[in-house]
Structure 1
Amino acid sequence: MNVMAKAKKKISSAFIYFFGSFGGILFGYDIGVMTGALPFLQADWHLENAASLVGWITSAVMFGAIFGGALAGQLSDKFGRRKMILMSAIVFMIFSVLSGVSPEIGEASAYYLIIVRMFLGLAVGAASALVPAYMSEMAPAKARGRLSGLNQTMIVSGMLLSYVVDFLLKDLPGEWAWRLMLGLAAVPALILFLGVLRLPESPRFLLRKGDEAQARKVLSYIRKNPAEIDQELASIKETAKEERQANQKTSWSTLFSSKYRYLVIAGVGVAAFQQFQGANAIFYYIPLIVQKATGQAASSNLMWPIVQGIILVIGSLVYMWIADKFNRRTLLMVGGAVMGLSFILPAVINWMMPNMNPMTIVVFLCIYVAFYSFTWAPLTWVLVGEIFPLAIRGRASGLASSFNWIGSWLVGLIFPIMTASMPQEAVFAIFGIICILGVIFVKTCVPETRGHTLEEIEEQGTNHGRVKATNPEN
C-alpha cells in the first residue's frame, strides 16, 4: 500500500486533468470517424441507394448513447466514476474492433454493424456523462469553467484526429480503409484505459462511501494546502447532505411543478435545440454533402472534414478566451442567428441564381461550424450545469442529456433520407429555420446565468414573471 500511495503521490494535477478529460477524445473520435468511413463503406457494401440503412449505421452510436449516459450515471454512483470510465474504455475497445471486422454476409452485414455500433454508443454515452462529472468533482471551483472548455477541446480534438486518420487511410483499398478507420478507435480507448488506471477516485464519491481518509489523500494530490483541503471536505459534506435531503423530497413530477418548470424547459430546450439545429449533419456527412454539391466522389473529399475539425478546435479555444466576457444569452443568440443565416442564405441565393457555384454551400457551412464551435457547442453544457436548482439537478441534467442525444440520433438518421428526397439547400434551410427558432427560444425562455449565483438563478426561475417585468434584459 505504501508503494502505491507513493506512486499516486507523484501524479501531477496536470496528469489527472488530462486523462480525466481524455474520454472526450473517444467521444469526439467516434462522432467524426464515420464521416470518412461512410463513403468507402457505401461503395464496399453497395449502399449508395439505401438512405435508411446509411442513416441507421451512422446514428446507431447516438441511439446507444441515449441509454449509455443514463446507465453510467446510475452505476457510477454505486461503483465510482473511475471504475466506470475504465469499463467504458473496455467496451469502446471491444466494439471498435468488432466494427472493423464486420463480416460480409449480404444485407445482414449492415444490421450487424448497426447493433455493434449501438453497443459502442453505450460507451460513448457513458464517456459523455462520466468525464464532465469526474472533472467537476476533481477540479477546484475557480477552474471549473476553464476545465469545461478543456472537455470541449478534447471532444473536437478527437473529431479532428478521426478526420486526419480518415484522410491518411483514404488511399487504401476501399474494404480495408473503412475497417481500419473504425477499428483504430480502439487505440485512444486503450490509451484512456492505461491512463485512468493511475487516476484516483473522485473525493466526492469517496466521501459518499464514508472513506474520508482516502478522500483527503486524493485532494492532497490536487490542492495546495491543508486549509484548502479541510474547507473543500466540509463543503462536499454539506453539499452531499443537501442533495440527500433534496432527493428525498423530489420526484420526476417535481421537474414540471410551477416552481421549477421554467428552468427545466429552458435547460432541456437549449440541449435539444443544440442538436436539432443540424450540426451533426455536417460532421457526419460533409464528404457526401460536397459530393452532392460538386459531383466529386465523396472519398476524394476527405480534406473538408479536416478543415471543419480545425475550425472546431480553434473555436473551442476562442470560447475558453471569451467565456466569461460575454453573457450566455448574447453568445447563444448571436451564434444561432449567424448559424441560421448560414443555412438559409444558400437556398435563397440558389433560388435567385440557379447557376450558383456549388461550393458556395460549403463555404456557408464553414461559417456555421465556426460560430457553432464557440457558442452553442460549449455553452449548452455550461448553461445546463448552471441553470438547474440543487433539488432537481440530477434528474433535470439527465433529462437534458437524453434530449440532446435523441436530437443527435434523429439528425444522423434522417439527414440522408431528407437529402435523397429533396434538394440539399432545402434541407439546410429547414435546419436554418430551427436555428432561428432556437434564438427566439433563448430570447423568450432562457434566463441569463453568467454572474448570478445558483440561488439567484433559482429565484429567476420561480419568480420569472416578476423578474422579467423589473429587469427585461434577463
Structure 2
Amino acid sequence: MNVMAKAEKKISSAFIYFFGSFGGILFGYDIGVMTGALPFLQADWHLENAASLVGWITSAVMFGAIFGGALAGQLSDKFGRRKMILMSAIVFMVFSVLSGVSPDMGEASAYYLIIVRMLLGLAVGAASALVPAYMSEMAPAKARGRLSGLNQTMIVSGMLLSYVVDFLLKDLPGEWAWRLMLGLAAVPALILFLGVLRLPESPRFLLRKGDEAQARKVLSYIRKNPAEIDQELASIKETAKEERQANQKTSWSTLFSGKYRYLVIAGVGVAAFQQFQGANAIFYYIPLIIQKATGQAASSNLMWPIVQGVILVVGSLVYMWIADKFNRRTLLMVGGAVMGLSFILPAVINWMMPNMNPMTIVVFLCIYVAFYSFTWAPLTWVLVGEIFPLAIRGRASGLASSFNWIGSWLVGLIFPIMTASMPQEAVFAIFGIICILGVLFVKTCVPETRGHTLEEIEEQGTNHGRVKASNPEN
C-alpha cells in the first residue's frame, strides 16, 4: 500500500493539468481535420455536386456532439469524470479508425461515413463537456481563469495539429490522403487514454461518493498545505449541499421564471450567437472557399488552414493576457463588430468593384479569425460559467451547450448548400449581419460579469425581472 501511495504521490500538478486538458486536443483535431480531408474525399467519391451530402459528412460530428455532451454530463455524475474521459478516448479511437477505413460503395459509403462520424461526435461532445468540468474541479480557484484559457489553447492547438497533418499528407494519392487524415485522429486519442490512466479522480466526485480520504489524497497532489486542503474540502461539501438543495427546488420551467429569465436568455443567447456568426464555416471549408474565390484546386490550398490555426493559437494566448484587463461585454462587442465588418465589407467591395482581387476575401477572413480567437471563442464559455446562478446552473449550462452545438451543426450543414446557390460573398454578408445582431444582443441583453460575485450577478437578474414585471410594455 505504501509503495502504491508513493507511486501516486509522484503525479505532478503539471501532469494532471496537461492531461486533464488534453481532451481539448481531440476536440480541436476533429473540428479541423475535415478541412483538409474534404477536398480529397470529394474527388475520390465524386461528391463535387452533392452539397447536401458534403454538409452532412462535415457536420455529422457536431450532430453527435449535441447528444454526447448531455449524455457524458449525466454519466460522469454516476461513474466519475476520469472514467468517462477514458471511455470517450476509446470511442474516439474506434470511430476515427472506422472513418479512415470507410468502404467505397458509391453513395452508400457517404451514409456510412455520416453515421460513423455521428458516433464519433458522441466522444467529441463528451470531451467538450468533461474536460472543462474536470479542470474546474482540480484547479485552485485563483488559477481557474488561466486554466480555462489553457483549455481553449489546447482546442485550437488540436485544430492547428490537424491542419499540419493535412498539409503533410496532401501529396499522397487522394484515396490514401483523406483516409489517413481521418484515421490518425486515433493517435492523440491513444495518448489521452494512456495519460488519463495515471490521472486521479476529481476530489469533488470522490466527496460526493463519500470517499473523503481519497479526495484529501488527490488534493495533496495539487495543493500546497494542509490548511488549504481542509478549507477546500469544507468548501466542496458546502457547495455540494447547496446544489442538492437547489436541484430539489428547480425544474426546467424555473429557467424561464421572472427571476432567472434575463440571465438564461443572456447566457444561452451568447452561446448560440458564437456559432451562428459563422466561424466554423471558415474552419471547415477554407480550402473550398479559396477554390471558389480563385479557381485554384482546394487540395492545393492547405497552407491556408495552417495560417488560420496559427492565428487561433496566438489569439488564445492574447486572451490569456488580456482576460482580466477588459470587461467581457466590451471585448464581445468590439470583437463582434470587427467580425461583422470582416464579413460584410468583401460583399460591398465586390459590388463596387466587380474585378476585386479574389484573395481580398481571404484577408478579411483572417481578420475575422483573429478577433474571434480572443473574444467570442473563449469569452462565451467564461461568461456561461459565470452568469448562471447556482440554483439553475446545471440545467442552464446544458441548455447553452446544446444551443451552441446545434448552431455548429447547422452552420457546417448549410454552408455548402448556401454557397452552391448564391455568391459566397453574399453568404458571408448574411453571417456578418448575424455578427452585428450579436453585438446588439450583448449591448441590450447581457450583464457585465467581470469583477462581480455570483451573488451580485444573480441580483442583476432578479432586479431586471422586477423592472420587467413593473413595466410589462418594456
Q: CA deviation at 1:342?
A: 0.1
Q: CA deviation at 1:3?
A: 2.8
Hey, what's the Cα distance between the residues in 2 that align with 1:401 and 1:473? 31
Q: CA deviation at 1:473?
A: 22
Q: CA deviation at 1:467?
A: 8.7
Q: CA deviation at 1:226?
A: 0.0
Taking structure 1 as reference, are residues 368 and 469 closer, same or farther at Cα in structure 2, changes over 3 Å only? Answer: farther
The aligned residue for residue 278 of structure 2 is 278
Taking structure 1 as reference, are residues 351 and 473 closer, same or farther at Cα in structure 2, changes over 3 Å only? Answer: farther
The aligned residue for residue 442 of structure 1 is 442
After superposition, the CA RMSD in angstroms is: 2.1
Q: Is the 1:460–1:467 contact (alpha carbons within 8 Å) kept by the matching residues of 2? A: no
Q: Is the 1:339–1:367 contact (alpha carbons within 8 Å) kept by the matching residues of 2? A: yes
Taking structure 1 as reference, are residues 99 and 262 closer, same or farther at Cα in structure 2, changes over 3 Å only? Answer: same
Matches within 5 A, 1:55-454: 55-454=55-454
Taking structure 1 as reference, are residues 75 and 22 closer, same or farther at Cα in structure 2, changes over 3 Å only? Answer: same
Taking structure 1 as reference, are residues 403 and 211 closer, same or farther at Cα in structure 2, changes over 3 Å only? Answer: same
Hey, what's the Cα distance between the residues in 1 that align with 2:2 and 2:100? 43
Hey, what's the Cα distance between the residues in 1 that align with 2:52 and 2:150? 36
User: TM-score, with normalisation over the residues of structure 1?
Assistant: 0.98
Q: Is the 2:270–2:380 contact (alpha carbons within 8 Å) kept by the matching residues of 1? A: yes
Hey, what's the Cα distance between the residues in 1 that align with 2:470 and 2:447? 13
Q: Is the 2:88–2:123 contact (alpha carbons within 8 Å) kept by the matching residues of 1? A: yes
Q: CA deviation at 1:404?
A: 0.1
Taking structure 1 as reference, are residues 470 and 224 closer, same or farther at Cα in structure 2, changes over 3 Å only? Answer: farther
CA displacement 1:386-409 (0-9 Å, x = unmatched): 000000000000000000000000
Hey, what's the Cα distance between the residues in 2 that align with 1:239 and 1:182? 42
Q: Is the 1:40–1:177 contact (alpha carbons within 8 Å) kept by the matching residues of 2? A: yes
Hey, what's the Cα distance between the residues in 2 that align with 1:473 and 1:153? 44
Taking structure 1 as reference, are residues 471 and 146 closer, same or farther at Cα in structure 2, changes over 3 Å only? Answer: farther
Hey, what's the Cα distance between the residues in 1 that align with 2:468 and 2:277? 27
Hey, what's the Cα distance between the residues in 2 that align with 1:59 and 1:37? 14
CA displacement 1:351-372 (0-9 Å, x = unmatched): 0000000000000000000000
The aligned residue for residue 51 of structure 2 is 51
Q: CA deviation at 1:7?
A: 1.3
CA displacement 1:198-226 (0-9 Å, x = unmatched): 00000000000000000000000000000
CA displacement 1:6-26 (0-9 Å, x = unmatched): 111001100000000000000
User: Any gaps of 5 or more consecutive residues in structure 1?
Assistant: none
Q: CA deviation at 1:472?
A: 19
Q: CA deviation at 1:465?
A: 6.5
Hey, what's the Cα distance between the residues in 2 that align with 1:415 and 1:125? 21
Q: Is the 2:254–2:260 contact (alpha carbons within 8 Å) kept by the matching residues of 1? A: yes
Taking structure 1 as reference, are residues 468 and 306 closer, same or farther at Cα in structure 2, changes over 3 Å only? Answer: farther
Taking structure 1 as reference, are residues 11 and 118 closer, same or farther at Cα in structure 2, changes over 3 Å only? Answer: same
Q: Is the 1:386–1:449 contact (alpha carbons within 8 Å) kept by the matching residues of 2? A: yes
Q: Is the 1:276–1:408 contact (alpha carbons within 8 Å) kept by the matching residues of 2? A: yes
User: Any gaps of 5 or more consecutive residues in structure 2?
Assistant: none
Q: CA deviation at 1:470?
A: 16
Q: Is the 1:37–1:177 contact (alpha carbons within 8 Å) kept by the matching residues of 2? A: yes
Q: Is the 2:259–2:465 contact (alpha carbons within 8 Å) kept by the matching residues of 1? A: no
CA displacement 1:71-111 (0-9 Å, x = unmatched): 00000000000000000000000000000000011110000
Q: CA deviation at 1:178?
A: 0.1
The aligned residue for residue 31 of structure 2 is 31
Hey, what's the Cα distance between the residues in 2 that align with 1:182 and 1:338? 34
Taking structure 1 as reference, are residues 237 and 304 closer, same or farther at Cα in structure 2, changes over 3 Å only? Answer: same
SS state at 1:463 partner: helix
Hey, what's the Cα distance between the residues in 2 that align with 1:468 and 1:314? 42
Q: Is the 2:262–2:465 contact (alpha carbons within 8 Å) kept by the matching residues of 1? A: no
Hey, what's the Cα distance between the residues in 1 that align with 2:116 and 2:317? 34
Q: CA deviation at 1:274?
A: 0.1
Q: Is the 1:99–1:179 contact (alpha carbons within 8 Å) kept by the matching residues of 2? A: yes
Hey, what's the Cα distance between the residues in 1 that align with 2:363 and 2:278? 16
Q: CA deviation at 1:321?
A: 0.1
Q: CA deviation at 1:2?
A: 3.0
Q: Is the 1:343–1:432 contact (alpha carbons within 8 Å) kept by the matching residues of 2? A: yes
Hey, what's the Cα distance between the residues in 1 that align with 2:289 and 2:420? 11
Hey, what's the Cα distance between the residues in 1 that align with 2:8 and 2:121? 32
Taking structure 1 as reference, are residues 172 and 130 closer, same or farther at Cα in structure 2, changes over 3 Å only? Answer: same
Hey, what's the Cα distance between the residues in 2 that align with 1:189 and 1:460? 42
Q: CA deviation at 1:5?
A: 2.0
Percent identity over the alignment?
A: 98
Taking structure 1 as reference, are residues 378 and 467 closer, same or farther at Cα in structure 2, changes over 3 Å only? Answer: farther
Taking structure 1 as reference, are residues 105 and 275 closer, same or farther at Cα in structure 2, changes over 3 Å only? Answer: same
Hey, what's the Cα distance between the residues in 2 that align with 1:319 and 1:31? 21
Q: Is the 1:336–1:435 contact (alpha carbons within 8 Å) kept by the matching residues of 2? A: yes
Taking structure 1 as reference, are residues 248 and 103 closer, same or farther at Cα in structure 2, changes over 3 Å only? Answer: same
Q: Is the 2:28–2:154 contact (alpha carbons within 8 Å) kept by the matching residues of 1? A: yes
Hey, what's the Cα distance between the residues in 1 that align with 2:441 and 2:30? 30
Q: Is the 1:206–1:214 contact (alpha carbons within 8 Å) kept by the matching residues of 2? A: yes
Which stretches of structure 1, 4 residues or longer, exceed 6 Å deviation after superposition?
465-474
Taking structure 1 as reference, are residues 466 and 328 closer, same or farther at Cα in structure 2, changes over 3 Å only? Answer: farther
SS state at 1:47 partner: coil
CA displacement 1:440-470 (0-9 Å, x = unmatched): 0000000000000000000001102779999
Taking structure 1 as reference, are residues 296 and 473 closer, same or farther at Cα in structure 2, changes over 3 Å only? Answer: farther
User: TM-score, with normalisation over the residues of structure 2?
Assistant: 0.98
CA displacement 1:116-157 (0-9 Å, x = unmatched): 000000000000000000000000000000000000000000
Taking structure 1 as reference, are residues 467 and 316 closer, same or farther at Cα in structure 2, changes over 3 Å only? Answer: farther
Q: Is the 2:260–2:465 contact (alpha carbons within 8 Å) kept by the matching residues of 1? A: no
Hey, what's the Cα distance between the residues in 2 that align with 1:467 and 1:127? 40
Hey, what's the Cα distance between the residues in 1 that align with 2:473 and 2:298? 47
Paired positions, count: 474
Hey, what's the Cα distance between the residues in 2 that align with 1:34 and 1:473? 48
CA displacement 1:158-195 (0-9 Å, x = unmatched): 00000000000000000000000000000000000000
Hey, what's the Cα distance between the residues in 2 that align with 1:467 and 1:30? 45
